Amino acid sequence: MDAIQTTEYARALFSARGNKALAEAAQRMRDCEEAGKTDEAEDWKRIRLAISELRGPNQG
């Protein structure tokens, strides 16, 4: 997943789930790690970071 796709997915998830989007991305990242899907886990890590940026400072 490239940077543009990551940002678009993060925005869509944040729009749909609000503040719960960060927790959802973190859970999906852990699920992928446990399943041995390292590439997908990295994608979710980047999505999680993008959601954090969308939320802004002092929001987690």
Which pLDDT score is estimated for 49? 96
For the chain, the 3-state helix, strand and coil shares in percent, each to the nearest 5, are: 80, 0, 20
Which pLDDT score is estimated for 36? 98
The identity of residue 17, as a single letter, is R
Which pLDDT score is estimated for 58? 63
> Whole-model pTM?
0.88
Say if residues 9 and 1 touch (Cβ distance below 8 Å).
yes
Give per-residue pLDDT as tens, 6-60: 999 999 999 999 989 999 999 999 999 999 999 999 999 999 999 999 887 765 5
Cα separation, 59 vs 41, whole angstroms:
23
Cα separation, 55 vs 45, whole angstroms:
16
Which pLDDT score is estimated for 59? 56
